Amino acid sequence: SALRDITELREREEQFRMLSAAVEHSPASIVITDAKGSIEYVNPAFCRLTGYSAEEALGQNPRILKAGDQPRELYKELWDTLLRGDEWRGEFHNKRKDGSLFWETASISAIRNAKGAIKHFVAIKDDITERKEMRDQLQQMAQFDMLTGLPNRRMVLDRLAQMVSLAKRGNQRFAL
């Protein structure tokens, strides 16, 4: 009946509004591209993180963010995985509009039509720059004296063990 059809339509509209609000207010950066990789949608979190407005991003390829220091194999694996229909997960070292660099962890999936053809890709990404910087800082603190910047006892003993192992393996000598 018409009343039931209208009720179902309203329920779907409400679900769409709820989904749209969730995407718009998500703290994760969300990017949707067409099957060829042209950006069709970015959420506000993407704009805040990258410095690109939605208008500037639309029609572009996500490679506008590439810092250029990651191996080509990463992108080959990404596309091979996506075109197989699998989800790709990994990290990107990217560049904001102002040139500053940042790290993201990403999950990218294909969106298919009713016939199974890939129509879009959706990427959900989180900024992990602070986490990586903290890890690097902790690693630095674990291996170097903070006052002098010289390798600490732990690092010296580790390197000494490596040299002893190499010398034994190669049946060689070394001096300390």
SS (HEC) of 144-160: ECCCCCCECHHHHHHHH
Exposure class string for 9-37: b at 16+ Cβ within 10 A, else e: eeeeeeeeeeeeeebeeeebbbbebebee
Pairwise CA distance, residues 16 & 22, whole Å = 10
For residue 90, what pLDDT is reported? Answer: 95
Whether 5 has a pLDDT exceeding 80, the answer reads: no
Angular region, 70: left φ>0, alpha ψ -120 to 50, beta rest: beta
pLDDT number for residue 64: 95
Instruction: Report the pLDDT value the prediction gives residue 58, as an integer from 0 to 100.
Output: 97
Measured from the Cβ of residue 160, the count of other Cβ atoms closer than 10 Å reads 12
Paired with 89 in beta bridges are: 107
d(Cα 93, Cα 74) in Å, to the nearest integer? 11
Q: What is the pLDDT of residue 155?
A: 81
| Residue 88: closest CA among 107, 103, 64 | 107
Q: What is the pTM of this model?
A: 0.73
pLDDT tens digits for range 119-158: 999 999 999 988 888 888 888 887 888 788 888 888 888 8
**What does the pLDDT look like over 8-33, one tens digit per residue?**
888 989 998 998 888 899 999 999 99
Integer Cα distance of 154 and 145 in angstroms: 10
